[in-house]
Amino acid sequence: MKRENNMSQQDPNLDAKLTTSAQRQVADTVRALPEETVSLAWRSALNERLAPIAAKKVRVRRVGWLWKPTAGLAMAGALAVAVMFRIAPSPTISSVSVSSGVEANLVAFHQQSEVAYDVAGPGLANPDAIEKTTGKNTEPNWTEDDLSSL
Protein backbone atom coordinates (compact mmCIF):
# COMPACT_ATOMS: atom_id res chain seq x y z
CA MET A 1 0.00 0.00 0.00
CA LYS A 2 2.74 2.28 0.95
CA ARG A 3 4.48 1.46 -2.31
CA GLU A 4 1.24 2.10 -4.28
CA ASN A 5 0.79 5.41 -2.54
CA ASN A 6 4.33 6.28 -3.40
CA MET A 7 3.77 5.35 -7.01
CA SER A 8 0.56 7.42 -7.10
CA GLN A 9 2.43 10.26 -5.64
CA GLN A 10 5.17 9.84 -8.23
CA ASP A 11 2.75 9.60 -11.20
CA PRO A 12 -0.64 11.18 -10.44
CA ASN A 13 -1.94 10.30 -13.97
CA LEU A 14 -1.46 6.53 -13.52
CA ASP A 15 -5.19 5.81 -12.93
CA ALA A 16 -6.11 7.83 -15.91
CA LYS A 17 -3.59 5.93 -18.06
CA LEU A 18 -5.06 2.58 -16.98
CA THR A 19 -8.53 3.54 -18.12
CA THR A 20 -7.50 4.44 -21.63
CA SER A 21 -9.21 2.64 -24.53
CA ALA A 22 -6.04 0.78 -25.47
CA GLN A 23 -5.75 -0.63 -21.99
CA ARG A 24 -9.42 -1.67 -21.99
CA GLN A 25 -9.00 -3.41 -25.32
CA VAL A 26 -6.10 -5.48 -24.02
CA ALA A 27 -8.08 -6.39 -20.92
CA ASP A 28 -11.09 -7.47 -23.01
CA THR A 29 -8.85 -9.61 -25.26
CA VAL A 30 -7.34 -11.42 -22.25
CA ARG A 31 -10.76 -11.94 -20.72
CA ALA A 32 -12.01 -13.43 -24.00
CA LEU A 33 -9.29 -16.13 -24.08
CA PRO A 34 -10.75 -19.70 -23.66
CA GLU A 35 -10.23 -21.28 -20.28
CA GLU A 36 -8.40 -24.62 -20.75
CA THR A 37 -9.26 -27.43 -18.35
CA VAL A 38 -6.54 -30.01 -17.49
CA SER A 39 -7.33 -33.35 -19.07
CA LEU A 40 -7.85 -36.40 -16.85
CA ALA A 41 -5.32 -38.35 -18.92
CA TRP A 42 -2.65 -35.75 -18.23
CA ARG A 43 -3.51 -35.73 -14.50
CA SER A 44 -3.31 -39.50 -14.39
CA ALA A 45 0.07 -39.48 -16.09
CA LEU A 46 1.32 -36.88 -13.65
CA ASN A 47 0.05 -38.91 -10.70
CA GLU A 48 1.78 -42.00 -12.04
CA ARG A 49 5.04 -40.10 -12.26
CA LEU A 50 4.65 -38.61 -8.79
CA ALA A 51 3.63 -41.84 -7.05
CA PRO A 52 7.09 -43.53 -6.96
CA ILE A 53 8.69 -40.29 -5.81
CA ALA A 54 6.15 -40.00 -2.98
CA ALA A 55 6.64 -43.65 -2.00
CA LYS A 56 10.39 -43.15 -1.92
CA LYS A 57 9.96 -40.12 0.33
CA VAL A 58 7.73 -42.10 2.69
CA ARG A 59 10.30 -44.93 2.77
CA VAL A 60 13.08 -42.46 3.53
CA ARG A 61 10.93 -40.89 6.25
CA ARG A 62 10.20 -44.30 7.78
CA VAL A 63 13.87 -45.39 7.68
CA GLY A 64 14.71 -41.98 9.12
CA TRP A 65 12.94 -42.99 12.33
CA LEU A 66 15.55 -45.68 12.66
CA TRP A 67 18.79 -44.19 11.38
CA LYS A 68 18.45 -40.66 12.71
CA PRO A 69 18.30 -41.69 16.40
CA THR A 70 20.95 -44.36 15.73
CA ALA A 71 23.28 -41.84 14.14
CA GLY A 72 22.57 -39.41 16.96
CA LEU A 73 23.35 -42.02 19.57
CA ALA A 74 26.51 -43.04 17.74
CA MET A 75 27.71 -39.43 17.58
CA ALA A 76 26.89 -38.85 21.24
CA GLY A 77 28.70 -42.07 22.12
CA ALA A 78 31.75 -41.09 20.11
CA LEU A 79 31.77 -37.70 21.80
CA ALA A 80 31.47 -39.31 25.22
CA VAL A 81 34.33 -41.71 24.45
CA ALA A 82 36.49 -38.85 23.22
CA VAL A 83 35.77 -36.82 26.36
CA MET A 84 36.34 -39.82 28.64
CA PHE A 85 39.72 -40.55 27.07
CA ARG A 86 40.82 -36.97 27.40
CA ILE A 87 39.72 -36.64 31.01
CA ALA A 88 40.58 -40.09 32.31
CA PRO A 89 44.10 -40.54 33.70
CA SER A 90 46.68 -42.21 31.53
CA PRO A 91 46.21 -45.98 31.36
CA THR A 92 47.71 -47.96 34.20
CA ILE A 93 51.24 -48.97 33.61
CA SER A 94 50.51 -52.64 34.04
CA SER A 95 48.16 -52.61 31.08
CA VAL A 96 50.65 -50.61 29.06
CA SER A 97 53.47 -52.93 29.97
CA VAL A 98 51.54 -55.94 28.77
CA SER A 99 50.88 -54.38 25.41
CA SER A 100 54.22 -52.64 25.11
CA GLY A 101 56.29 -55.78 25.75
CA VAL A 102 59.96 -55.28 25.47
CA GLU A 103 59.85 -51.47 25.57
CA ALA A 104 58.36 -51.51 29.07
CA ASN A 105 60.90 -54.08 30.19
CA LEU A 106 63.81 -51.97 28.97
CA VAL A 107 62.65 -48.97 30.96
CA ALA A 108 61.82 -51.04 34.04
CA PHE A 109 65.21 -52.71 33.91
CA HIS A 110 67.01 -49.37 33.86
CA GLN A 111 64.92 -48.05 36.72
CA GLN A 112 65.31 -51.09 38.94
CA SER A 113 69.04 -51.11 38.32
CA GLU A 114 69.27 -47.49 39.45
CA VAL A 115 67.40 -48.28 42.65
CA ALA A 116 69.48 -51.39 43.26
CA TYR A 117 72.78 -49.53 42.82
CA ASP A 118 71.51 -46.73 45.05
CA VAL A 119 70.50 -49.07 47.82
CA ALA A 120 73.38 -51.49 47.60
CA GLY A 121 76.14 -48.87 47.33
CA PRO A 122 79.37 -50.84 47.56
CA GLY A 123 77.41 -54.00 48.45
CA LEU A 124 75.69 -56.51 46.25
CA ALA A 125 73.18 -55.12 43.77
CA ASN A 126 70.68 -57.26 41.90
CA PRO A 127 72.42 -57.50 38.58
CA ASP A 128 75.51 -59.07 40.10
CA ALA A 129 73.41 -61.64 41.89
CA ILE A 130 71.72 -62.80 38.70
CA GLU A 131 74.68 -62.59 36.42
CA LYS A 132 77.34 -64.68 38.04
CA THR A 133 76.23 -66.45 41.14
CA THR A 134 73.38 -68.51 39.82
CA GLY A 135 73.92 -68.25 36.11
CA LYS A 136 70.18 -67.74 35.82
CA ASN A 137 68.79 -65.31 33.35
CA THR A 138 65.13 -65.36 34.08
CA GLU A 139 62.46 -63.31 32.42
CA PRO A 140 61.67 -60.38 34.69
CA ASN A 141 58.07 -60.13 35.77
CA TRP A 142 57.72 -56.35 35.79
CA THR A 143 54.75 -54.69 37.40
CA GLU A 144 53.46 -51.16 37.38
CA ASP A 145 55.41 -50.50 40.54
CA ASP A 146 58.59 -51.15 38.66
CA LEU A 147 57.92 -48.25 36.37
CA SER A 148 57.03 -45.56 38.80
CA SER A 149 59.90 -43.26 39.38
CA LEU A 150 61.44 -42.20 42.58
Partner 1 sequence: MRRLPVLAFICMAAMATAAQPVSDAGALLRHMLEAAPKLRYSGTRTVTLRAGIDRRVHTELIEKDGARTRVEFPKDSPYRGQVIVESEKERRHFFPEHNEIHVQPARRERAFQRLLRLANGKGAGRRIQVADGGVVAGLHTSVLTLVEPRGNAMQRMWIEPRSGMLVKRELYDRSGAVQGGFEFTQVNLSPRIDGRDFRLDVRGAKIVAPRDDLHEFTKRLNLPEVSLPPDAPFQLDGVRIQKMGGMEVLVQQYTNDDRDFTFFQLRGAIDQGKLRKQARSFQSVTWQKDGVSSVLVGDLAATMLEDLARQLGK
Spatial distance between the Cα atoms of 31 and 77, rounded to a whole number of angstroms: 66
**Is there binding between residue 37 and partner 1 (CB under 8 A)?**
no
Per CB under 8 A, the segment of 15-23, 39-47, 48-56, 132-140 that binds partner 1 is 132-140
Residues with Cβ within 8 Å of residue 76, at least 6 apart in sequence: none
The least distance separating partner 1 from the CB of residue 94, rounded to whole angstroms, comes to 11
DSSP assigned state of 134: I
Cβ-based nearer residue to partner 1, 11 or 128: 128
**Is there binding between residue 9 and partner 1 (CB under 8 A)?**
no
**Is there binding between residue 94 and partner 1 (CB under 8 A)?**
no
Spatial distance between the Cα atoms of 118 and 126, rounded to a whole number of angstroms: 11
Spatial distance between the Cα atoms of 46 and 53, rounded to a whole number of angstroms: 11
**Is there binding between residue 110 and partner 1 (CB under 8 A)?**
yes
With CA atoms as reference, report the closest residue to 105 among 138, 80, 75: 138
**Is there binding between residue 11 and partner 1 (CB under 8 A)?**
no
**For partner 1, how many residues bind (rule: CB under 8 A)?**
51
Contact positions toward partner 1, by CB under 8 A? Answer: 93, 96-97, 100-134, 137-143, 145-150
